[in-house]
Amino acid sequence: MIASTSATAKTSFSARILLFCAMAAAGTTAQGRIVVNHDEWTLSTTGFANAPAGSAATFAQNVGSWLNGGSPGNFLVCSNNFGLTSPQFISAMTSGGHMLTFWTPAVGSPMTAAGFAAFDGVFLAGPVLGAGANIAAELIAYVQGGGGVYVAMGTGLLPGFSGSSANEANYWNPILSPFGLAISATFNGLGGMYPCAFPHPIFAGVSVLDFNNGNTVSALGASPNVTTFGNAAQPGGASGTIEFASNMVDTPWDLCRTFSSPVVGLGAGGILLGDGQIVNLSIFTPGLFISFNGFQGGVFPGPFSFPYAFPPGSGAFSGQMVLLDSSTSSGVRLSAPFRIEP
C-alpha cells in the first residue's frame, strides 16, 4: 500500500504498513527526513542474501542519498543491531559514496542534537547508543534542524523485557509522533520477500526486499509530507486490511476514490486547504468517485476495519476519507489517503 498523509489529530487512517517514509519540514531553511522500516532484517546479512542481487544494496544507497537531499552523505550508525552492522550494508554504503561512522563514546555521550548535527543522517535500530535521558527531544530537534534519520523497528531489544513489541512502541512513538508517525505495540508477523515497485527515490532500482516480522507503521497525520509503502502489491493479487478510525463518531462522512490517478502531494496536484489540511486526490480526474454521493450515506459509525482482496490484474485505486467538521475553517477533517495496487 502507498499513501501520503494529511490527516489531523481527530481523524486518522492507518493500514498494515511495512515501510514508511516521511519528510518533515522545519521552517524554510531546514528540511529533515525520516525513513521508518517496520523491521530490521532488510539490511542484515540475511536480508542481503535473500533479496535479489543488488536490491538491498541499492535500497541502502538510495535511503542514504534521499536522507541527504539526493547526494552521498556522512552518516552516524548509533546501533549495534545486526541489521545495521552487516559487512554487506557497510560495503553497499561505502561503494555508493557514503561515509559511515559507528558510534563510540568519543563521538558523544550523551548524544545531543548538536552532536548528531555533525552528520547528514543517523541510522538507528534498537536502543540508541550514547542516548541520554532526553534522547527523544534531541532526535526531534535534530530532524527539525534538517537532519535525516533511518530507523528500523521489530528488534524486541528496547528497555524492558526482551522481545517486547510494546517496549518498541513506547521507545519510538514519542520520537516519531511529532512528525505524524506511529508504530504498533504488537508485532505484525509480516515476513518474507515483498516487491517494491513504488514511485519513490528510495526504491529506484529496487525490485524486492526481505522482511521478518516487525512493528506496523502508520500515519498519524501531524505532517502533510508523509508517504507510506506497504504490502499490498504482492504476486497473486493484493490483500490486507484498511482501518478507518476517528473520534468524530455520529458525524456525516464520505470516502472519495479515484481509479485513474495516484495519491498526490503538494506541488504534484495536492490542494492545500486554508486550515493546513491537504486534499491528496486529484479532484479534476474523470475517475473521481464520491462513495456516498456527498455525505448522504449517514454518519461515521466509529472505528472499523475493511478487509480487501483483489485478484491479479485488478486496477489500482486511491482514496481519502472526509468528515464534516464545523470547527475547522474548511468545514471538514481529512484522513490520510491510501492507494492499493494489486
* Residues 124, 163, 127: CA angle, nearest 5 degrees: 25
> Which residue is it, cell 494489486?
342
Q: Of 166, 195, 230, at which residue does a domain stop?
A: 230
Question: Per-residue confidence of the chain (342 residues) as pLDDT tens digits?
Answer: 222 222 222 222 222 334 554 444 333 335 789 999 988 999 999 999 999 999 999 999 999 999 998 999 999 999 999 999 999 999 999 999 999 999 999 999 999 999 999 999 999 999 999 999 999 999 999 998 999 999 999 888 876 645 578 888 889 989 988 887 778 887 777 777 877 777 788 889 998 888 888 887 876 643 445 666 654 333 334 566 676 777 788 889 888 888 766 777 766 777 888 887 778 788 777 778 888 888 888 888 887 777 666 666 667 777 888 889 898 888 988 877 777 766
Q: Of 172, 205, 230, at which residue does a domain stop?
A: 230
Q: Whole-angstrom Cα distance, residue 30 to residue 79?
A: 25
Which pLDDT score, from 0 to 100, does residue 163 have?
58
Q: Specify if 4 maps to a domain.
A: no
Residues 190, 89: one domain?
yes
Residues 223, 254: one domain?
no
- The CA-atom distances, in angstroms, between 186 and each of 16, 55, 183, 205 are 12, 28, 9, 31
Which pLDDT score, from 0 to 100, does residue 26 have?
33
Q: Specify if 342 maps to a domain.
A: no
Residues 261, 205: one domain?
no
Q: Whole-angstrom Cα distance, residue 318 to residue 238?
A: 14
Which pLDDT score, from 0 to 100, does residue 13 have?
28
Residues 119, 169: one domain?
yes
Which pLDDT score, from 0 to 100, does residue 233 have?
35
Residues 33, 124: one domain?
yes
Amino acid in the structure at residue 317 = F
Residues 268, 207: one domain?
no
Which pLDDT score, from 0 to 100, does residue 295 have?
85
Q: For the chain, what is the largest distance between any 2 Cα atoms, rounded to a whole number of angstroms?
A: 63
- The CA-atom distances, in angstroms, between 148 and each of 24, 26, 60, 118 are 10, 12, 14, 12
Residues 164, 39: one domain?
yes
For residue 199, give every residue at least 6 positions away whose Cβ sits within 8 Å of its Cβ, in sequence order, or none. 2, 262
Number of separate domains in the chain:
2
Q: Dig out the grid coordinates for 186 from the structure.
A: 504488537
> Which residue is it, cell 490517478?
261
Which pLDDT score, from 0 to 100, does residue 239 have?
62
Q: Whole-angstrom Cα distance, residue 243 to residue 291?
A: 17
Q: Of 172, 198, 230, at which residue does a domain stop?
A: 230
Residues 216, 300: one domain?
no
Give the DSSP letter of residue 89: H
Q: Specify if 2 maps to a domain.
A: no
Instruction: For residue 214, give the 3-state DSSP assignment.
Output: coil
Q: Specify if 159 maps to a domain.
A: yes
Nearest to residue 242, comparing CAs of 163, 168, 303?
303
Residues 182, 38: one domain?
yes
Which pLDDT score, from 0 to 100, does residue 201 have?
87
Q: Specify if 235 maps to a domain.
A: no
Tally of CB atoms within 10 A around 196: 22
Q: Specify if 104 maps to a domain.
A: yes
Q: Specify if 66 maps to a domain.
A: yes
DSSP per position, 258-320: ESSS----TTTT-EE-TTS-EE-S-TT-TTEEETTTTT-S-B--SSEEEEEEE-TTPPPEEEE
pTM for the structure as a whole: 0.64
Which pLDDT score, from 0 to 100, does residue 28 have?
31
Bridge partners of 253, per DSSP, are: 323
Instruction: For residue 202, give the 3-state DSSP assignment.
Output: helix
Instruction: Answer for the pair 39, 29: CB distance below 8 angstroms, yes or no.
Output: no
Residues 70, 197: one domain?
yes
The residue segments making up the domain with residue 293 are: 241-335
Q: Specify if 6 maps to a domain.
A: no
Residues 207, 80: one domain?
yes
Residues 70, 132: one domain?
yes
